[in-house]
Homo-oligomer: A and B are copies of this chain.
């Protein structure tokens, strides 16, 4: 809290009891955050409050002390729990007044659907005195752009995502640009890594983590580690020029651990490598049950490379569809290198694909033993130059979904490394 400082920037408030009850994910916060980042706005805080008049009033006064701009979503509708405009007006002791042009717009929109507005919609025409209208091209609840105190402006939006987004693009962006709240732009890139933990990667690039412009920040999720590179500059090309050498340095230090940038996934990278080579792929899955195929086919255009696969959950399916010999299963067990290799070769053979990838493991929670514990997964990659396999131990502590997700990622990464090693046939 405290006095106004030069760091006063933009903050976001999402209003809605459904958010506090966990009924919905706060997708509006994420969307606005992305938009602000792309505009180069220093967005430093997000909050969620329920539909509570007193808390909204207290919050608006707090925000006026610390921020240059407050962006709100939600609470603009016609029902008694829609309190945003009223609470904001009360926070700064300004009366509400009805805007005839808003009411006319509501009447016109409903007439177009053959309806008459219910009286409760009249609430939506009430705005604090002095506030400018932020038009809602699709819905009936308008927002406002209001400067209740010098150096503090509030922009309000409805909570309905499609209405909020249309209003953002048409009215808020031009206003934010004109208000010149930012010097220059912020550009950011994400680099994706597989096969290294967050702490070890951070150590390898420790000196770069200390930079202030551009910055590098590590985070992790779903088995992969990411580095976010961010630069601030007067223009987009200048920001990108700050990022280029940094990305190059990070890629050089991490080598093949870095598999992609921004929207790339292990699946999209593997599919692109195979497409460049004009080669095809098939998958054979036991414990992942289709997850590897699903990850690959999530990428648009996967059909140019992926022929298909076999989900060989039961041993009989491993034998009959993939041709895994019964004696291999009897001798080594379904979770073993020989069976993984037979599955990978089998799916390559039965589909005619250039490459076959196989996963067989124990996802848990049941099915583990002393020698083959939950989390043990054998992976094999068969290609024109032969078949290789190996075991991974993902442990049992993170649960079934985690073992399955890591198995899919590890299988894709092993195929990626094989493709980088193997000269196109």
A294 contact from B291, B365, B402, Cβ within 8 A: B291
Whether the pair B221, A397 counts as a contact (CB closer than 8 A) is: no
Which of A16, A45, A309, A363 has most chain B Cβ within 10 Å?
A309
- B contact residues around A404 at 8 Å (CB): 294, 297-298
B47, B112, B228, B363: which contacts A47 (Cβ < 8 A)? B47
Is A290 at the interface (CB under 8 A from chain B)? Answer: yes
Determine the residue in chain B with the shortest Cβ distance to A401.
B298
Quick check: is A203 within 8 A (CB to CB) of the other chain?
A: yes
A313: contacting residue among B159, B188, B306, CB under 8 A: B306
Q: Which residues of B contact A149 (CB under 8 A)?
A: none
B301 and A366 form a contact (CB under 8 A):
yes
A293 — which chain B residues lie within 8 A by C-beta? 285, 289-291, 293-294, 311, 313
With an 8 A cutoff between CB atoms, is A339 at the interface?
no
User: What's the dominant secondary structure at chain A's contact region?
Assistant: mixed
Chain B nearest Cβ from A90, distance in angstroms: 16
Q: Is the beta-carbon distance between A120 and B202 smaller than 8 angstroms? A: yes
Among residues of B, the one whose C-beta sits closest to the C-beta of A27 is: B25
Q: Is A217 an interface residue (CB 8 A)?
A: yes
CA distance A138 to B18 in the complex (A): 31
Q: Give the docked Cα–Cα distance between A95 and B185 (Å).
A: 39
Which of these binds chain B: A31-39, A239-247, A417-425? A31-39
Interface residues in A1-54 by Cβ distance below 8 A to B read 1-2, 16-27, 29-37, 43-52
Residue numbers in B under 8 Å from A61 (CB-CB): 1
Find out whether the CB atom of A46 lies under 8 angstroms from the CB atom of B47: yes
Question: Does A386 belong to the interface (CB within 8 Å)?
Answer: no
B80 and A209 contacting across the interface, CB-CB below 8 Å: yes
B-chain residues with CB within 8 Å of residue A364 when the two chains form the complex: 300
Distance between Cα atoms of A11 and B198 in the complex (Å): 29
Contact B298 A307 (CB under 8 A): no
Minimum CB–CB distance from A8 to chain B (whole Å) comes to 12
Known: A79-B198, A210-B80. A113 touches B393 (CB 8 A): yes
Number of A positions contacting B (CB below 8 A): 119
Instruction: Report the stretch among A173-181, A248-256, A315-323, A376-384 that lies at the interface.
Output: A315-323
Per-residue interface assignment for chain A, residues 170 to 206, with 1 indicating a CB less than 8 Å from any chain B CB and 0 otherwise: 0000000000000000001010000001111011001
A340 within 8 A of B: no
Bound Cα distance A49, B31 (Å): 16
Chain A, residues 252-291, CB within 8 Å of chain B (1/0): the string is 0000000000000000000000000000001101011111
How far in angstroms is the closest Cβ of chain B from A201?
A: 9
Cα distance A37–B22 when bound, in Å?
Answer: 8
Beta-carbon contact of B45 and A47 below 8 Å: yes
Tell me if A395 is interfacial: C-beta within 8 Å of chain B.
yes
User: How distant is the Cα of A36 from the Cα of B48 in the complex, in angstroms?
Assistant: 15
> Please, how many angstroms separate the alpha-carbon atoms of A285 and B316 in the complex?
19
Does A162 sit within 8 A of B, measured CB to CB?
yes
Q: Is the CB of A307 within 8 A of B303?
A: no
State whether the Cβ of A91 lies closer than 8 Å to any Cβ in chain B. no
Which chain B positions have C-beta within 8 A of A298?
A: 289, 400-401, 404
Does A368 touch B at the CB level, under 8 Å?
no
* Given A22-B34, A317-B308, also A290-B287 (CB < 8 A): no
Interface residues of A (CB under 8 A from B): 1-2, 16-27, 29-37, 43-52, 55, 58, 61-62, 77-81, 112-113, 118-121, 137-138, 159-160, 162, 188, 190, 197-200, 202-203, 206, 209-210, 217-221, 228, 230, 282-283, 285, 287-298, 300-303, 306-314, 316-317, 320-321, 350-352, 363-366, 393, 395, 397-402, 404
Name 16 interchain pairs, CB-CB below 8 A, sorted by A: A1-B61, A17-B217, A19-B33, A21-B37, A23-B219, A26-B30, A45-B47, A112-B395, A118-B197, A119-B203, A285-B290, A294-B404, A298-B404, A309-B311, A314-B351, A321-B350
* A-B complex: 9 closest residue pairs judged by Cβ atoms: A289-B297, A290-B293, A290-B290, A22-B34, A22-B33, A308-B317, A46-B48, A78-B199, A290-B294
